[in-house]
Chain A
């Protein structure tokens, strides 16, 4: 206490002996100092984590969105395989699947991992054209076992490759063999057969087609397949790219057809998750379910053999039924990896058939993209799925992977839910979509 005053002395008496040794003001100054230090510390922390930026090619980092236990384990095994073959350690940073997706913009503009997992299609081309992904064309010159469809799906707008496919899964109509055998149902190959079959199922007390759209994206699969069957693959691509008008008669026909099919779909779909819909199939309450191969997750191990599927039937004979949605997951390279050489070597490995073999051995729920892989370990369902995709003339990626994410999530999801709520006002709905599309697709 430099200047003893009565008030100061009074205050000093209030200070407990444990801190009385400290001057009151220096305490405050100290607190402010600590605050400032903490502040700068935090800020430094935000920009940090590049301490190991030296050209040490002994490690390479991978950002993974495979956060479920099973796929996470598979990724770990693949990376172990790389370590044994090359001696380079791979640091896998696993982030929750949805969180990874939602943060992707910031992630890629910040300090992304050398290699990260992502999706083929518009979502890949978007980041490639924004300069946020690295060109991996020279990796592709060393890759074997990929069909042209996969190479096309890995190519950016500028004709260079930015993506290495790892796995994919088709969308199809799933059903339980035991139920169909018991009732003598036949796989429908035309829309008429599908509606006849559905009428029979209703008579038999089944919900013909399980359906759920609480999360907004599953019904995109229905829209996609109807659009592919009615208007074909090229129209799908152009519509997704914003080149075709949503108010056109072609799109209107898709929604009209869908409106006609809604009565054979499970009602009240907007409150149901896809898991619940899949369980209605599993519990033999529904006859069919249009979903991705991952529907198998909702079935017990001893029921896997009872699960079968067929591709969505033909609607227009001149278009056929050969196109389908089969989203591809894979790897991309950051725009400025710490060591480009190390990143590309890893990409070469994950695209190789050795890596694919590890995946086949460990994960029965996806298909590997590399055709050179030894697929004798596939389940019957996997084999059939691989055949289906192999025979497809065109492979679409799924609505929200083939178009701008902002358009898919803020326009299409509410619009499709609106359609399911009120299937009558289709032209009003399409006008609304078209107006919003024009506002979003400005470039």
Chain B
């Protein structure tokens, strides 16, 4: 019953008279001129339209198309509706699907457990102002800058079975790209190589921003180097940590370029993104089927995005 007075107070307010309302609007008019309102409307509308047109409409269209068997040719009116058949096909008769899901998860695990921590570790080392740290920094960041085609070529030179550097040095005959038990690890190494540099740079930027007095205080208190990092620096870097985490998840979900360059995501290198592309893009044009795969990918991404957003929002509220 405690909220009763509130309700009463609410009701106690007399319905606004016509005159008052007019006066109110008039006052607002004076606060926001016509130009103001036009500019504000534009500033809200333009980004909104862009987001709707470039993100939401295509996403909705993908979901809709996943229920059709459209081959990308002919008017939209002639598209046949096939219901959930595409999803049924994806799960039951499309052999690359299960390996693709497994590989995406493996990718996430490898980047999260190995590449990201290693990149952070390198950043901490480079932050120590070693001699030639600029050189190391450039060398480690280079893979991120190199063009995709070049990266594919570089690794082809290293991994090629007959002519590659790795087999020549090790004296082995391993089929790094062709053996489906080996190639995913070879590619994960190449992907990690690039990811480490990316994370390193992000983290290094964050480390440079940490107030030096915090470290001095920790040193004065007699904290060891690791303790200073884990107890003081790491918690302070929370915003960067979250960015690094998000980057890792995004990178593993949209992992695509390397496997596509190597063998178009076949034979042990299946990834959801590569399957979507090979079905939708190109001559194949199984747009309905590919859209079903894309929708599955969207749902998987949504799970991660939801978890991330709820965590961030909950902590921000705190």
The residue of chain B having its C-beta at the shortest distance from the C-beta of A101 within the complex is B283
- Whether B215 is near chain A, meaning CB under 8 Å from some CB there, is no
Are A132 and B284 touching (Cβ within 8 A)?
no
Instruction: Give bound CA distance, A36 to B50, whole Å.
Output: 11
Residues of chain A within 8 A (CB-CB) of B69 are 442
Instruction: Give bound CA distance, A360 to B35, whole Å.
Output: 71
User: Smallest distance from the beta carbon of B38 to chain A beta carbons, Å?
Assistant: 7
User: Smallest distance from the beta carbon of A430 to chain B beta carbons, Å?
Assistant: 12
Residues of chain A within 8 A (CB-CB) of B163 are 276, 279
Are A105 and B283 touching (Cβ within 8 A)?
yes
- Whether B93 is near chain A, meaning CB under 8 Å from some CB there, is yes
Interface residues of A in 217-244 (CB under 8 A from B): none
Number of chain A interface residues as a range = 35 or more
Are A104 and B39 touching (Cβ within 8 A)?
no
B46 contact from A25, A32, A104, A417, Cβ within 8 A? A32
Are A432 and B267 touching (Cβ within 8 A)?
no
The residue of chain B having its C-beta at the shortest distance from the C-beta of A283 within the complex is B162
B73 contact from A36, A132, A214, A279, Cβ within 8 A? A132
- Whether A42 is near chain B, meaning CB under 8 Å from some CB there, is no
- Whether A319 is near chain B, meaning CB under 8 Å from some CB there, is no
Residues of chain B within 8 A (CB-CB) of A406 are 71, 279, 283-286
User: Smallest distance from the beta carbon of A277 to chain B beta carbons, Å?
Assistant: 9
Interface residues of B in 79-104 (CB under 8 A from A): 85, 89, 93-96
Are A29 and B283 touching (Cβ within 8 A)?
no
Given contacts A405-B285, A440-B286, contact A214 B178 (CB under 8 A): yes
Are B282 and A417 touching (Cβ within 8 A)?
no
Instruction: Give bound CA distance, A210 to B103, whole Å.
Output: 31
Are A435 and B285 touching (Cβ within 8 A)?
no
Identify which of B36, B71, B266 gathers the most chain A CB atoms within 10 Å of its CB. B266
Instruction: Give bound CA distance, A29 to B263, whole Å.
Output: 49
Are B42 and A105 touching (Cβ within 8 A)?
no
User: Smallest distance from the beta carbon of B157 to chain A beta carbons, Å?
Assistant: 12
Interface residues of A in 389-432 (CB under 8 A from B): 405-406, 409-410, 413-415, 417-418, 421, 432
Are B161 and A268 touching (Cβ within 8 A)?
yes
Are A409 and B73 touching (Cβ within 8 A)?
no
Are A25 and B35 touching (Cβ within 8 A)?
yes
User: Smallest distance from the beta carbon of B207 to chain A beta carbons, Å?
Assistant: 31
Instruction: Give bound CA distance, A314 to B73, whole Å.
Output: 41
- Whether A35 is near chain B, meaning CB under 8 Å from some CB there, is yes
Residues of chain B within 8 A (CB-CB) of A366 are none
- Whether A139 is near chain B, meaning CB under 8 Å from some CB there, is no
Are A32 and B94 touching (Cβ within 8 A)?
no
Given contacts A25-B36, A268-B175, contact A432 B283 (CB under 8 A): no
Q: Chain B binding site: helix, strand, loop or mixed by DSSP?
A: loop
B95 contact from A35, A270, A414, Cβ within 8 A? A414
The residue of chain B having its C-beta at the shortest distance from the C-beta of A216 within the complex is B266
Are A268 and B283 touching (Cβ within 8 A)?
no
Given contacts A216-B263, A414-B267, contact A271 B283 (CB under 8 A): no
Residues of chain B within 8 A (CB-CB) of A35 are 46
User: Smallest distance from the beta carbon of B25 to chain A beta carbons, Å?
Assistant: 19
Are A414 and B96 touching (Cβ within 8 A)?
yes
Are A405 and B263 touching (Cβ within 8 A)?
no
Interface residues of B in 133-166 (CB under 8 A from A): 159-163
Are A270 and B178 touching (Cβ within 8 A)?
yes
Residues of B in contact, count (CB < 8 Å): 45
Given contacts A25-B36, A406-B284, contact A109 B46 (CB under 8 A): no
Interface residues of B in 38-73 (CB under 8 A from A): 38-39, 42-43, 46, 69, 71-73
- Whether A193 is near chain B, meaning CB under 8 Å from some CB there, is no
- Whether B183 is near chain A, meaning CB under 8 Å from some CB there, is yes
User: Smallest distance from the beta carbon of B235 to chain A beta carbons, Å?
Assistant: 35
Instruction: Give bound CA distance, A280 to B173, whole Å.
Output: 15
Given contacts A105-B72, A276-B163, contact A421 B267 (CB under 8 A): yes
Interface residues of A in 119-165 (CB under 8 A from B): 123, 130, 132
User: Smallest distance from the beta carbon of B91 to chain A beta carbons, Å?
Assistant: 12
Identify which of A269, A432, A439 gathers the most chain B CB atoms within 10 Å of its CB. A439
Interface residues of B in 209-266 (CB under 8 A from A): 263-264, 266
- Whether B278 is near chain A, meaning CB under 8 Å from some CB there, is yes
User: Smallest distance from the beta carbon of A43 to chain B beta carbons, Å?
Assistant: 11
Are B93 and A409 touching (Cβ within 8 A)?
no
The residue of chain B having its C-beta at the shortest distance from the C-beta of A413 within the complex is B266
The residue of chain B having its C-beta at the shortest distance from the C-beta of A429 within the complex is B95
Instruction: Give bound CA distance, A102 to B289, whole Å.
Output: 17
The residue of chain B having its C-beta at the shortest distance from the C-beta of A106 within the complex is B72
Given contacts A32-B46, A101-B282, contact A414 B161 (CB under 8 A): no
The residue of chain A having its C-beta at the shortest distance from the C-beta of B286 within the complex is A406
Instruction: Give bound CA distance, A216 to B284, whole Å.
Output: 14
Instruction: Give bound CA distance, A435 to B88, whole Å.
Output: 12
B93 contact from A214, A405, A436, Cβ within 8 A? A436
Given contacts A271-B161, A276-B162, A410-B278, contact A29 B267 (CB under 8 A): no
Are A271 and B183 touching (Cβ within 8 A)?
yes
Identify which of A101, A102, A272, A414 gathers the most chain B CB atoms within 10 Å of its CB. A414
Are B43 and A268 touching (Cβ within 8 A)?
no
Are B177 and A105 touching (Cβ within 8 A)?
no
Are A29 and B38 touching (Cβ within 8 A)?
yes
- Whether B127 is near chain A, meaning CB under 8 Å from some CB there, is no
Instruction: Give bound CA distance, A132 to B283, whole Å.
Output: 14
Residues of chain B within 8 A (CB-CB) of A271 are 159-161, 175-179, 183
23 cross-chain CB contacts under 8 A: A3-B33, A25-B39, A28-B39, A32-B46, A35-B46, A102-B281, A105-B285, A106-B72, A109-B73, A132-B73, A214-B178, A214-B263, A268-B178, A270-B263, A271-B177, A272-B178, A276-B161, A276-B162, A405-B283, A406-B71, A406-B279, A435-B93, A442-B69
Given A271-B177, A405-B284, 12 additional A-B pairs, CB 8 A = A102-B283, A105-B72, A132-B73, A215-B263, A216-B263, A268-B178, A271-B161, A271-B183, A409-B278, A413-B266, A432-B95, A439-B93
